[in-house]
Amino acid sequence: MQYVVHSHIPALLFVPPCEAEHAKGYGAMAELIRLAAANEAEPQRLPRNIEAEAAFLGAILIDNRVIEDVSIKLQPDHFFEPLHGRIYEQILRLIDRNMLVTPVTLKPFFEADESMRELGGPGYLIKLTADGAGLIGARDFAQQIYDLALLRELVTVGRTLVDNALDTSESVDPKGQIEAAESALYKVAEGEGDTGSMKSFLAASTEAIRNVEKALQSGGNLSGVTTGLDSINGKCGGLHNSDLVILAGRPGMGKTSLATNIAFNAARRWIREREDGIEEAKGAGAKVAFFSLEMSADQLATRILAEQSGISSELLRMGKISREDFRELSRASRELQELPLYIDDTPALTIAALRTRARRLQRRHGIGLIVVDYLQLLQGSSRAGDNRVNEISEISRGLKTLAKELGLPVIALSQLSRAVEQREDKRPMLSDLRESGSIEQDADMVWFVYREDYYEAAKQPDPVNEAAHDAWKEKMERIFGVAELIVAKQRHGSTGRVRMKFEAKITRFTDLADDQYADAGYD
């Protein structure tokens, strides 16, 4: 994008020294770093256009309807001149009250303004409207003000990056600097920068009402991304944006299977909603990023294919299937070709690398759900590497930060300590979370997967004792294939248990036909 001097604008119009093809990209970063290093003490070189700001404000004061034509979210902090930012902020307040905004109605708010006095007092507001040429290019002026604000944020990022890179003290952390720079660049790319974190209560409550409306339209039990299981949706309302959900269980409980099922269900729902013409903001589906540190991508794909084709995943791996089964497998594979499920099976990822990859996936593909399998296989920074508890704390905080930063739910699988095996009742508790109490602290929801039949199968008595064996067999028939999801922590609602059906051969969780204990709560 190149800014030019229009004939109807004063000759002092500032043309930025660097040509930015797109302010939201990273292409100008090298030039900005050079500029920041060479001109650190020259703030006057910052990209700005004071005349464009004045012309845009004058256009609004002449015709308040101009602001309705501005498609970008122009904020007061986007103005380089602080006085112009304060004028624009007051304009927004008056328009929000359905008041007419003119130099006369603005005058009482700026009579004591020191910067206004230096320019001749409130009469400056009238000077802004002296040249009505701003009415012609108001939209272009607004876009230029916004783009220059982004460029200034890029300059700030570049200067900070240079200052940190020149620090060669013993406490320097190059990887941490790269992570911080990536995060800052991401915020600029999203148009947020340092000014995007503060929200008025009006904005926050509007978003809350939108979530309630979404839940109402879905039948009253789903305000976030769907899990694909009505019993879980009914208990938790789906997966909410910015939430960290910890899904934990002992080995063999099926936590990876449940996470895979949820990921598939959310991705498939996204496809169906697009086919039905449902807007993405109103839908319950999501594109999914699955970070598998334990299983390979083809193993996860095999699980999903087994679930959809109804063929045992074990038979698929061994190739013991008939031609009819193979045709069914091919059909399922064709149907899943467009599934927006992205699998990253890179081993030994650091939390910084995972966050970087997640940002890139959201920027390129617009993902709306992240699954991490599993938390203890992630690595923290080198500084925390000598203390495993501190490292796990850093990882859990990093995942929560990622959920808030990207505005989407993150499901992180977690191992449990062996303390579960020492108790008579094998149902997990929050104290069983392995290696760090910060996991419980950082999580918005904590889910435990528990299958009683897994433990009961190991208690099979000697068939010689017919009475005991018959009693065991009767209990196994009653509990076989039934799993529990224990909601041990939930910021948005109550705790409790949800019963589900688990088909071990195809590793699939589904709703029970008669789920009378789905909402059985406990303290």
- CATH code of the domain covering residue 174: 1.10.860.10
Question: Residue 370 falls within a domain, yes or no?
Answer: yes
* Confidence check: pLDDT of 219 > 90: no
What confidence tier does 49 reach under pLDDT thresholds 50, 70, 90?
confident
> For residue 226, is pLDDT > 70?
yes
Residue 127: partners with Cβ closer than 8 Å, 6 or more residues away: 120
Same domain, 172 and 235: no
Q: Which of 499, 492, 490 is nearest to 519 (CA)?
A: 499
- Compute CA distances 378 → 43, 147, 355, whole Å: 42, 38, 11
Does 122 share its domain with 241? no
Is 299 found in the same domain as 174? no
Interval 453-467 mean pLDDT? 78
With cut-offs at 50, 70 and 90, classify the pLDDT of residue 14.
Answer: very low
The verdict on 54 and 112 lying in the same domain is: yes
Tell me the pLDDT band of 87, cut-offs 50, 70 and 90.
Answer: very high
Residue 11 domain flag:
no
CB 16 within 8 A of CB 142: no
- Report yes or no on 3 lying in a domain: no
Q: Which two tokens stand for residue 290?
A: 């699955």
Banded model confidence at residue 412, pLDDT cuts 50, 70, 90: very high
Q: Are residues 253 and 382 in the same domain?
A: yes
Q: Give the three-state DSSP class for 426.
A: coil
- Per the structure, how many domains does the chain have? 2
Tokens found for residue 125: 């507001």
pLDDT of residue 390: 81
Q: What is the mean pLDDT of the chain?
A: 76
Residues 326 and 437 in one domain: yes
Q: Is 19 within the bounds of a domain?
A: no
Domain assignment of residue 121, yes or no = yes
> Does the pLDDT value for residue 383 go beyond 60?
no
H or E element at residue 9: none
Nearest to 32 by CA among 145, 151, 181: 151
Report how far residue 82's alpha carbon sits from residue 444's, in angstroms, rounded to the nearest whole number. 39
Token pair of 77 as six digits: 């902090």
> 275-328, pLDDT tens digit by residue?
888 877 778 888 999 998 888 888 888 888 888 777 777 777 777 778 888 888
Same domain, 376 and 239: yes
Q: How far is CA 397 from CA 243, 391, 415, 441, in A?
A: 12, 10, 17, 9
Q: What integer pLDDT is reported at residue 423 of this predicted model?
A: 81
| Helix (H) or strand (E) run with residue 341 in it | strand 341-344
Q: Are residues 39 and 116 in the same domain?
A: yes
pTM over 0.85: no
Does one domain contain both 497 and 398? yes
Answer yes or no: do 265 and 352 share one domain.
Answer: yes
* Same-domain pairing of 157 and 247: no
Q: How high is the pLDDT of residue 370?
A: 93
Q: Are 79 and 125 part of one and the same domain? A: yes
88 closest CA partner among 52, 120, 121 = 52
Domain extent, residue 295, equals 221-450+481-511
